[in-house]
Amino acid sequence: MASHDQSYKAGEAKGQAQEKTGQMVGKGREATDAAKEKAYAAKDRAEAAKGNAQEKKDQAGSFLKDKTEAAKQKASETGQSARETAEAGKEKTGGLLQQTGEQVMNVAKGAADTVKHTLGLGDTDADTTTTTRDY
């Protein structure tokens, strides 16, 4: 039977793995939220620019028609840029979350192996050295 100290250390390793998981997931959520915020802000600016352009067109007549079309084009480009930025942020966040998930799985496996080894349940023929990396 394992000693109290060994059980404590195994529990501590598990707790550290859970804390690291929480931190990495939190960072992923923050990145996703920031990308969404930027996309919504760009969309709002594009819609406001489009609305202003339409109003000016109605007031000024044919002279401003060319200027209005240019503003519409700019709003469209801004919207497209916002969509591309949001998509890039989404892809980056997805990669970060996948990497975080892999890291969490590796930490959890290491903790489980440590617990098994501590309790004498691990494979005695296998290499029992465990390496850890700081992420």
In a domain, 127, yes or no: no
For residue 32, tell me if it sits in a domain: yes
pLDDT on residue 127: 52
Is 17 inside a domain boundary? no
Q: Is residue 80 part of a domain?
A: yes
Q: Which pLDDT belongs to residue 123? A: 66
What are the residues whose beta carbons fall under 8 Å from the beta carbon of 53, sequence distance 6 or more?
68, 71, 72, 75
pTM here is 0.29
Distance, CA of 73 to CA of 29 (rounded, Å):
33
Residue 134: predicted pLDDT: 59
Quick one: average pLDDT of 103-111?
A: 86
Read off the tokens for 71.
């503003």
Residue 78 domain-assigned (yes or no):
yes
Q: Which residue type, as a one-letter code, is found at position 58? A: D
Residue 40: what pLDDT?
A: 87
Residue 80 confidence class, pLDDT cut points 50, 70, 90: confident
Mean pLDDT (whole number) for 88-116: 80
Name the least confident of 4-13, 97-106, 116-125.
116-125
Asked whether residue 121 is domain-assigned, the answer is no
98 within some domain = yes
Does residue 109 fall inside a structural domain? yes
How confident is the model at residue 133, as a pLDDT? 57
User: Given a cut of 70, is residue 17 above it in pLDDT?
Assistant: yes
Contact by Cβ (8 Å): 76, 45: no
Q: Could you tell me which residues come within 8 angstroms of residue 74 by beta carbon, excluding any fewer than 6 positions away?
A: 49
Question: What is the number of structural domains in the chain?
Answer: 1
